């Protein structure tokens, strides 16, 4: 029997690797022999993406210092895969919300400059391909900070460079691309982007994601107008219409900036991860795929991790079981869609969310044990 374990993380509780390890322990309580277990932890482009990919495919972590969201130097890092030519960068690790204390969150001033510094460092180390995960950003600057770190100048009516933050974008009248790092032109940049939000408007970056970054109603109005102004300047200066581009609003408009300034390609995060980890190679002859995440609902049909890997399993006729922290009532529709064959919740008795977080490791292990015991009943009956 060959079982592939490919879970996402349980947010605020377990990394995807910790989930995979717990599932493996649960399986081995039931089956110690005559079983092959392949663990391929998944990631979504946010915190933990770099470490997860390095743990699966090999490579190294590069530690460095960058300018954080508040303009102060912070410790950061990125990964270089074992091919020594591919860098993996998570925006969360340089320009992320976790780097800003709640009382200091203000997207009018936060900058994506540190993300640009990570890109430059990857180029310095000879990387020819860069994969960037957009999850967990603290910024709403349209990627201007990132571009500034790579040599692009954003000039006001006096010909002076603007400062940091989404509150500065309305000052831009000209974009000077002449000092952009030349190595960018020869570098393939793929961006893990799992949202389709445009840059501005009712579903844009500021209105949808601004509040979680500290923006109040007044700030949101300013930020939205400023991103629209940026889009107009980009169109006038660069001839690129980025305003309504799907995914342009990701990470406070960083999706737009990466496309407009670096000619990056936005792709579904799970598709990038599946390609890097060569997941299909492991799934195609498996007896069972066990996946998981903190909460399962119908929204996974929008291209989330479970949907992406389940599609591969179904392609090869492999049954899929999801071990999850909670089950939304609309998740049962996934059975009708043929995406999932079984769902097992880790909660075994009434408990608080805090208790569930604390005990998550053992709860996942026990859930995996229950799944395998039920599967063995079926096998014995056959």
Q: Residue range 230-235: average pLDDT? A: 97
Burial of 74 (0-12, 13-18, 19+ CB in 10 A): middle
CATH of the domain at 175: 3.90.1510.10
For the chain, the farthest-separated pair of C-alpha atoms sits apart, in whole angstroms, at: 80
pLDDT of residue 35: 93
**115 and 11 inside one domain:** no
Shared domain for 261 and 158, answered yes or no, is: yes
**Residue 112 pLDDT:** 98
- Please give the pLDDT value at position 11: 80
Under a CB-based contact definition with an 8 Å cutoff, are residues 225 and 171 in contact? Answer: no
Kindly state whether residues 214 and 87 are assigned to the same domain.
yes
Domain's final residue, options 227, 243, 269: 269
Of the residues 234, 269, 304, the one at which a domain ends: 269
User: What band does 270 get if pLDDT is binned at 50, 70 and 90?
Assistant: confident
> Is residue 118 helix, strand or coil?
helix
Same domain, 152 and 290: no
What confidence score (pLDDT) does residue 182 get? 94
Q: Are residues 264 and 331 in the same domain?
A: no
What is residue 234's three-state secondary structure? helix
- Give me the helices (H) in 125-180, please: 144-149
Q: What is the DSSP letter of 14?
A: B
Assign residue 373 a region: left if phi > 0, alpha if psi is -120 to 50, beta otherwise?
alpha
Residue among 135, 146, 271 nearest 195 (CA): 135
13 or 169, higher pLDDT: 169
Structure-model confidence comparison of residues 379 and 314, the more confident one: 314
Q: Could you report the per-residue pLDDT of 284-329, keeping only the tens digit for each? A: 999 999 999 999 998 888 778 899 999 999 999 999 999 999 999 9
Is the predicted pLDDT of residue 379 greater than 80, yes or no? no
Burial 273-294 (b: 16+ CB within 10 A, else e): bbebbebeebbeebebbbbbbb
What integer is the mean pLDDT of 201-210?
A: 95
Percent of the chain with pLDDT over 70: 99
Report phi then psi at 326, rounded to 5: -155, 155
Q: For residues 236 and 79, what is the distance between their CA atoms, to the nearest angstrom?
A: 36
Same domain flag for 121 and 157: yes
pTM of the complete model beyond 0.85: yes
Across the range 202-221, mean pLDDT stands at 95
Cα-to-chain-centroid distance, residue 375:
33
- Cβ atoms of 184 and 152 closer than 8 Å: no
Question: In this model, does residue 382 exceed pLDDT 70?
Answer: no
State both tokens at 189.
């940049």
pLDDT digits (tens, 9 = 90+) for 28-78: 999 988 899 999 999 877 778 898 899 889 999 999 999 999 999 999 999
135 and 87 within one domain: yes
Q: Do residues 290 and 4 touch, judged by C-beta distance below 8 A?
A: yes
In this structure, the answer to whether residues 6 and 106 fall within a common structural domain is: no
d(CA 85, CA 276): 13
Same domain, 250 and 218: yes
Q: With cut-offs at 50, 70 and 90, classify the pLDDT of residue 376.
A: confident
Q: What is the residue-averaged pLDDT of the chain?
A: 94
Q: Measured between alpha carbons, how far is 378 from 198 in angstroms, rounded to an integer?
A: 48
| Structural domains counted in the chain | 2
Token look-up 């590069």 returns: 62
Answer whether residue 381 shows pLDDT above 70: no
Tally helices (H) and strands (E) across the chain.
14, 13
Query: Which of 269, 296, 329 is the C-terminal boundary of a domain?
Result: 269
Same domain for 288 and 235: no
- Give the helix ranges, DSSP H, for 69-150: 92-95, 113-124, 144-149
* One domain, residues 229 and 184: yes
Domain span including residue 176: 49-269
Residues 238 and 361 grouped into a single domain? no
> Cα–Cα distance between 142 and 254 in angstroms, integer?
5
Q: For 113-147, write each residue's pLDDT tens digit.
A: 999 999 999 999 999 999 999 988 999 999 999 99
Half-sphere exposure of 189 (CA within 13 A, CB side): 27
**CATH code assigned at 36:** 3.40.50.10350
């Amino acid at each position: 029997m060959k079982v592939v374990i490919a879970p996402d993380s349980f947010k605020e509780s377990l990394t995807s690797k910790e989930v995979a390890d717990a599932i493996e322990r649960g399986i081995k309580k039931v089956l110690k022999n005559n079983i092959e277990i392949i663990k391929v932890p998944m990631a979504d482009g946010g915190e933990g993406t770099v470490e997860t990919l390095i743990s699966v495919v090999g490579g190294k972590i590069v530690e460095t210092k960058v300018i954080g969201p508040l303009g102060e130097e912070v410790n950061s890092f990125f990964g270089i895969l074992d091919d020594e030519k591919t860098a993996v960068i998570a925006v969360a690790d340089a320009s992320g919300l976790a780097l800003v204390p709640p009382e200091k969150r203000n997207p009018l001033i936060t900058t994506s400059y540190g993300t640009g510094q990570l890109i430059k460092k990857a180029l310095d180390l000879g990387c020819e391909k860069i994969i960037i995960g957009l999850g967990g950003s603290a910024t709403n600057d349209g990627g201007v900070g990132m571009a500034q770190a790579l040599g692009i100048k954003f000039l006001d009516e006096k010909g002076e460079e603007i400062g940091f933050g989404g509150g500065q974008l309305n000052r831009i009248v000209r974009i000077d691309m002449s000092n952009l790092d030349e190595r960018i032109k020869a570098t393939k940049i793929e961006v893990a982007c799992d949202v389709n939000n445009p840059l501005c408007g009712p579903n844009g970056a500021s209105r949808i994601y601004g509040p979680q970054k500290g923006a109040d109603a007044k700030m949101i109005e300013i930020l939205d107008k400023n991103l629209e102004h940026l889009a107009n300047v980009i169109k006038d200066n660069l001839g690129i219409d980025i305003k309504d581009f799907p995914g342009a609003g990701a990470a406070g408009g960083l999706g737009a900036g990466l496309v407009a300034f670096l000619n990056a390609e936005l792709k579904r995060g799970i598709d990038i991860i599946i390609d890097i980890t060569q997941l299909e190679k492991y799934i195609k002859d498996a007896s069972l795929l066990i996946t998981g995440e903190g909460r399962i609902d119908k929204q996974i049909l929008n291209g989330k991790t479970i949907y992406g890997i389940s599609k591969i399993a179904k392609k090869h006729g492999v049954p899929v079981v999801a071990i999850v922290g909670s089950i939304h009532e609309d998740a049962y529709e996934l059975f009708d869609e043929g995406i999932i064959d079984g769902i097992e919740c880790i909660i075994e008795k009434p408990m608080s969310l805090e208790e569930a977080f604390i005990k998550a490791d053992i709860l996942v292990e026990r859930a995996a044990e229950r799944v395998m015991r039920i599967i063995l009943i079926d096998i014995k009956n056959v």
